[in-house]
Amino acid sequence: MTDGRRWYDKDPVLKEALDLLRLQTDETKAEAADYIMKLQEQVAADVIEHLYETIAKYQGKGNRWYDNDPVMMKAIEMLRLAPPKMQRIAALKLLLVLEQKSSEGLENLNKD
């Protein structure tokens, strides 16, 4: 699995966060996308330009789980283009929130 690896497979925390995000509800994905998009304020303008080129190329045409949702695609591409340290911080925060939402969902199921 060397050449076919996804860009986020290199970092186990980032991989876990994005794999968990993929399984979430649309509402949770939207909240996560909003959070990730806040990284835009910290990423250089040339990176943003590359982001929009990538979105134009793949939106609705790619095979990745996020290619058909324009907001999620933009958020994930923003994360991909962020510096590794920022990726890891975002992934850790995302994991905490997603795991909290998962356990809240289980608690709500157990109340019935």
pLDDT tens digits, one per residue of 9-60: 988 988 999 999 999 999 999 988 888 887 777 666 667 777 778 888 877 7
> Total structural domains in the chain?
1
Amino acid at the residue 19: D
Q: What is the pLDDT of residues 60-103, one digit of tens each?
A: 788 888 888 888 888 888 888 888 888 999 999 889 888 888 77
* Helical H segments across the chain, by residue range: 12-22, 26-37, 45-58, 70-81, 84-111
C-alpha span between 8 and 19 (Å, rounded): 10
Q: Which of 98, 97, 26 shows the shortest CA–CA distance to 66? A: 26
Whole-Å CA distances, 64 to 40, 61, 72: 22, 9, 11
Determine the pLDDT at residue 105: 66
Domain extent at residue 38: 11-17+26-105
In a domain, 93, yes or no: yes
In a domain, 43, yes or no: yes
In a domain, 1, yes or no: no
In a domain, 110, yes or no: no
